[in-house]
Amino acid sequence: MLSSEHSLAMSPDDDSLTWLPAPDFFPDCSFTILHGDMAAPNLDLFFKIEANTEVVKHTHKSAERMILMSGALEVEYEGEDPVVVKAGSYLYGPSGKPHRAKCLDKGPCVLFIALVETFDAVVVED
């Protein structure tokens, strides 16, 4: 059976993308939906973090599969040592595991993120 769904090919600098502000607890961050719906499972998006911007510690109910498209990003998952990843790196974030990030001075950092469950982000107080 032939699918009626269209294929996609996009890059973070595609002029057709609409970048939306991230929730207030992610200042200087924005996102754009590539495929899917925010309220439904199986969502793909680009998440942009401006240079020298920290993303507060938070969790998601979904595991995250990510590829850093641009920039250099320091990521730290609770109970693990921080790592610095560069463009082209793959990252996996387990569901429910608190983590934080910081886009270093070679920003902006753009992450491709694939979520299995619906999108959510819950701030974790230290």
Is the Cα dihedral 46, 48, 93, 74 positive or negative? positive
Tell me the backbone φ, ψ of residue 105, rounded to 5 degrees. Answer: -75, 5
* pLDDT per residue as tens digits for the range 40-49: 999 999 999 9
Q: What is the spatial distance between Cα 118 and Cα 126, in angstroms, rounded to a whole number?
A: 25
pTM: 0.93
Q: For residue 106, is pLDDT > 80? A: no
Among left, alpha and beta (phi > 0; psi -120 to 50; other), residue 116 is alpha
**Residue 4 pLDDT:** 85
Q: By C-alpha distance, which of 125, 123, 117, 126 is closest to 94?
A: 117
pLDDT category of residue 17 using cuts at 50, 70 and 90: very high
More confident residue, 111 or 38: 111
* pLDDT per residue as tens digits for the range 53-86: 999 999 999 999 999 999 999 999 999 999 999 9
Average pLDDT, the chain: 94
